[in-house]
Structure 1
Amino acid sequence: MTSSLNRRSLNFASVLLCACMFASGACGIILEYIQASLASMILGNSFEQWAMVIGLMLFWMGFGSLIQARIPKHRLILTFIGIETGLALAGGFSPTLTYLSYGHTAHYPLVLYAFVSLIGILIGLEIPVIIRINNDFSHELSTNLGNILSADYIGSLIGSLVYVFVLLRYFPITEAAFLTAGVNFLLALITFAYFTRKGLIAKSPLLFLVMTGVFLGLVLGYKNSRVWQVKLEQPLYDDPVVFSRTTQYQHIVITHYQPLDEVRLFLNGNLQLNSLDEERYHESLVHPAMNLIPVRKRILILGGGDGCALREVLKYKDVRQITLVDLDPAMTSLAATHPLLTRINKNSFQDSRTLVFSGEGVQPGEKTPVYVNTGSSKKGKPKIHEIARVNVMNLDADLFLSKASGFWDLIIVDLPDPSTPELSKLYSREFYAKVRRKLSLTGMAVIQATSPYFAKESFLCIGRTLEAAGFAVLPFHENVPSFGDWGWFLAWKPVQDRNEITDRAKAMTIPVSTRFITPQVFQSQLVFGKGMLETQKTEINTLLYPVLLTLYNHESWLTE
């Protein structure tokens, strides 16, 4: 009977340790992803930062596996409790403290990588320590290794799924870190309680006080993480932060300087919009193309989640259908509801409806016309004119073009700069070929193309890539004070002669109200200084050779 009880106790201890390994495997991979996401948001260039963080963390995990040999056997359980408690503290507070260093010191990369290294060492210690502890509760080494390692690997898969489908979607990165840290702390608490009750570790008032302090710290951190995040971010921006949120796809910040009523929108720390000069960008993006095409009934906007390009398109009474495709539903929802953004975009999303995705392709949901009051009729009733039917779809632009049917008279490509692999894909020859296939015969596309001054080689690479995709192109640029000299490309199928397009540009009128652009301004935008369109480079951007990513991140912004 005693032997049977001992066997049950041993089996339960082994199951407990495997469960701990499963949970720690899940938490470990989540903490790795959190650090990589944090590095991408703060340091930029997500491709490099994910590679650097994962590689550095694996290196320190190897170092942790080495130093575990110095831990005496009688201290293994206490060491495991210390590891989980340390991971709880380091993992939970690392985003908050990294943000703090980012706002107050130029050495913030050292702080970030210090946390990466520390977490890597602790994760590296976990597996061999648990294996050594479980060795006393397992009859065979092969069984011990198989149980522990399989629990770790399966936990890593579950952790990846939880991070992608739960934490990224519903929690800011600071809250996600504290939630993960809470699981690590729970492992330490369960282990402490079980092995203390079994008499395998001595009762320690000091350890109890330490764990109580860690628990209170994690609870305090989680409850205040959103408030802390806004306060810690404030030093990163010149003006007061009035909105801050990390979505599944990006980090969104809005600032507002009330003396000038200046509103700025930032995505992942990069300025996307300034209310004082955004019309220079959006009117240049929309109106030349709108007035160079002979028919403008169906318009497609790729990107443009702030609603400003949509605002300009809605000024044209002959437009009948507008589809706006932006990946992040949080961005379009914010632009449709936040009072500062709705004031800027003139409530352009007010009467839009969302498209739905099905296996057969992209199908429109209920289309709701957008109306404008054009004055009073003779009978005293207001004249109502239908402007367009507006649909908004939250989907990757590349996937949308692959699935959607039909053609558009104008495709406006208003996407963020190609600073990451996922964005560089949307500047590739393959993507532009899909844009070309969705244009009507006399249609046109307009593509935001970064700065021809600060990012000259990127600008010219985009032009070459458009030509490689079968387009004829016409570059133009304008000074936008918040960004500097900014550029775009008009692109069309070569069935239309270039001279015909330039003749239309010379005779172009703009029949709607604008705050900045005029036909004469557009004529000036077609003029580039000596050498601005010349280069020795010939590469184009493709999916398998994303040269634009390197050009933009390493050879642009006057860094060469």
Structure 2
Amino acid sequence: MIEPHAPAPPSTQSSWRGPARLPVRPDTGRFLVLAGVFVCAACGLVYELELVALASYLMGDSVTQTSIVLSVMVFAMGIGSLAAKRLRRLAAAAFGSIEATLALVGGSSGPALYAVFAWTGDWGGLWLDGPRCLLVSFSLAIGLLIGAEVPLLMELIQRIRRQDAGGAVADLFAADYVGALVGGLAFPFLLLPFLGQLTSSLLTGTVNVVAGGALVLVLFRRDLTRRARRLLLITNIAVLAALATAAVLVDDFERAARHAVYGDDVRVAVHSDVQELVVTGGTHGRPLDLYLDGRLRVDGRDERRYHEALVRPTMDGPHAHVLVLGGGDGLAVREILRRPGVRRVDVVELDPAVVRLARTDPALSVLNDHAYDDPRVHVTTGDAFSHLREVPTASYDVVVADLPDPTMTAGTKLYSQEFYGLARRALAPDGRLTVHAGSLATHPRVFWTVEKTMRAAGLHTAPYATPGDDAGFVLASPDTRPTLAGDVREVTESRPPGLGASTLVHPRY
């Protein structure tokens, strides 16, 4: 058994260079090293979450993006830990260099990924397109650097006071895991809401380089040669200057990138608590387009055809009381109000900023015929799934689900068997439900999965599409199969084999 302060056996002290010459007491030095571990771990997790969030925003399908980032990063951390074994004799200088590099790479990862997406877009539609190649590259680089931290920090903490390996690992990992917890909570609840994605990554890089540089240049400065101290100081100052410059220019960068993505006629660009809203056109004869988190939600060129197909078939029956799930832009409400006999329309929208935009934006309010000025329309802010739980049985004649595309992972629960069961309960016996079920041309499997899921919830379905368009819809009723009316065509093509209810997975079809 090795005593805590006894010299280690020769086989375990290949990198042992004697106790570090510290400007503070050993106990204070250990505390400062563990504090540095805490800060670096928090920064590392913020980089990871930043990549996941931005990749999900830019490329969709959050499950795939999260899997890519986590798997590549964890693999790279193992490689980085192995590679750092050769640097333990120069632990202080190596750790300082790694932290400066990590701060620059991690801090610039968000702006770089956004820039590639904005100015190059998808490279040929391949799985490894431009943005995803960069995502993998950043995940690999950040993982390598984070993995290299642990062996070097272990060496530094052992140089302050030699102790058994188990105790040193326990102290190091405790500080690391607590730091990861703080970083994981700070990103969604503090950094993202108040600073946004790009500024958050730049600020995190700044904190990272300051913490790593201060730990080495102050606490372990005597382990460095004068030349090494000077080079490390210059490097840290250069990284700080680069991050600070990027932070100052980030607003101009975002505007330029937004114009590269959406064109030159961006009129509105706001970040709500839920998503980014961008409005283009709507003036001087240009059609209005509404983008939510970078995805086209309202296409002014053909939105009328889409909303007529969504609403009109379900209004061919009792329709005094109507529930609209989503549809905060007011365009589905516009079509509902055009039918006589409507007494009340309840709209459940997750993001109040969408409703506010639909009320106040001149072009969008004209497009929706000022639907929200009608006293029959009542808006509730909240999640559609949770709202349906509170709706009394048989409350509505019509339910219109104007929700995000079913190929988006974040909205999967809104196309689940449980969701349709709640919608069925909210309908009167002769009521009707209509759902946009995705594209028949590009995602037929998703379309038929939605239709089968609705049938599994006890609804009688009638799938349909608009003539000459690939947008697919499903009309459903609790008791009998509804009859389609209006300018729509029933879809009767064979369903792909092997479909089950509530199986909205998202491969590239």
Whether 1:486 aligns to 2:501 is no
Paired letter, 2:247: Y
TM-score (norm 2): 0.86
**Shift of residue 83, structure 1, vs aligned partner:** 1.9
- Whether the 8 Å CA contact 2:40–2:208 is kept in 1: the answer is yes
Q: Distance in 2 between matches of 1:122 and 1:169?
A: 27
Specify whether residues 416 and 115 from structure 1 end up closer, same or farther in structure 2 by C-alpha distance, changes over 3 A only: same
Give the SS at the match of 2:289: strand
Q: Look up the match of 2:211.
A: 187
TM-score (norm 1): 0.78
**Shift of residue 445, structure 1, vs aligned partner:** 0.9
Whether 1:55 aligns to 2:71 is yes
- Whether the 8 Å CA contact 1:24–1:184 is kept in 2: the answer is yes
Give the root-mean-square deviation of aligned CA atoms: 2.7
- Whether the 8 Å CA contact 1:172–1:245 is kept in 2: the answer is no
**Shift of residue 266, structure 1, vs aligned partner:** 2.3
Q: Distance in 2 between matches of 1:185 and 1:335?
A: 44
Q: How does 1:538-557 map to 2 (within 5 A)?
A: 539-542=499-502, 546=503, 548-550=504-506, 553-555=507-509
- Whether the 8 Å CA contact 1:289–1:410 is kept in 2: the answer is yes
Specify whether residues 437 and 470 from structure 1 end up closer, same or farther in structure 2 by C-alpha distance, changes over 3 A only: same
Identity between Structure 1 and Structure 2 (%): 29
- Provide, for residues 454-495 of structure 1, a one-character-per-residue CA deviation record: whole Å limited to 9, x for no partner: 333322222222111111122222158xxx42121211111x
**Shift of residue 104, structure 1, vs aligned partner:** 4.0
Q: Look up the match of 1:435.
A: 423
- Provide, for residues 372-395 of structure 1, a one-character-per-residue CA deviation record: whole Å limited to 9, x for no partner: xxxxxxxxxxxxxxx414122132
Q: How does 1:85-234 map to 2 (within 5 A)?
A: 85-105=100-120, 106=123, 107-140=130-163, 141-195=165-219, 199-203=222-226, 204-234=229-259
Q: Distance in 2 between matches of 1:330 and 1:129?
A: 48
Residue segments in structure 1 that go unaligned for 5+ positions in a row? 351-369, 371-386, 507-521, 556-560
Residue segments in structure 2 that go unaligned for 5+ positions in a row? 1-20, 124-129
Give the SS at the match of 1:418: coil
Q: Distance in 2 between matches of 1:99 and 1:205?
A: 34
Whether 1:70 aligns to 2:86 is yes
Q: Distance in 1 between matches of 2:290 and 2:377?
A: 27
Whether 1:283 aligns to 2:290 is no
Paired letter, 1:63: I
Q: Distance in 1 between matches of 2:213 and 2:248?
A: 21
Specify whether residues 214 and 346 from structure 1 end up closer, same or farther in structure 2 by C-alpha distance, changes over 3 A only: farther
- Aligned with residue 398 of structure 1, among 365, 381, 385: 385
Give the SS at the match of 1:71: helix
Q: How does 1:401-420 map to 2 (within 5 A)?
A: 401-405=388-392, 407-420=395-408
**Shift of residue 288, structure 1, vs aligned partner:** 2.9
Q: Distance in 2 between matches of 1:537 and 1:230?
A: 46
Q: Distance in 1 between matches of 2:370 and 2:149?
A: 53
**Shift of residue 250, structure 1, vs aligned partner:** 4.0
- Whether the 8 Å CA contact 2:349–2:379 is kept in 1: the answer is no
Q: Distance in 2 between matches of 1:53 and 1:245?
A: 27
Paired letter, 1:153: Y
Paired letter, 2:203: L
- Whether the 8 Å CA contact 1:462–1:540 is kept in 2: the answer is no
Give the SS at the match of 2:25: helix
**Shift of residue 331, structure 1, vs aligned partner:** 3.3
- Whether the 8 Å CA contact 2:347–2:377 is kept in 1: the answer is no
- Whether the 8 Å CA contact 2:282–2:364 is kept in 1: the answer is no
Q: Distance in 2 between matches of 1:540 and 1:345?
A: 37
Specify whether residues 349 and 389 from structure 1 end up closer, same or farther in structure 2 by C-alpha distance, changes over 3 A only: closer
**Shift of residue 318, structure 1, vs aligned partner:** 4.3
Q: Distance in 1 between matches of 2:354 and 2:194?
A: 14
- Provide, for residues 518-547 of structure 1, a one-character-per-residue CA deviation record: whole Å limited to 9, x for no partner: xxxx1x31345xxx52224252332xxx2x
Whether 1:525 aligns to 2:488 is yes
Q: Look up the match of 1:537.
A: 497
Q: Distance in 1 between matches of 2:149 and 2:388?
A: 46
- Aligned with residue 335 of structure 2, among 312, 318, 326: 312
Q: Distance in 2 between matches of 1:151 and 1:402?
A: 42
Q: Look up the match of 1:241.
A: 266
Paired letter, 1:493: P
- Provide, for residues 69-95 of structure 1, a one-character-per-residue CA deviation record: whole Å limited to 9, x for no partner: 11142x322222222221221111112
- Provide, for residues 118-150 of structure 1, a one-character-per-residue CA deviation record: whole Å limited to 9, x for no partner: 111111111221111111223423332211100
Q: How many residues matched?
A: 478
Whether 1:466 aligns to 2:429 is no
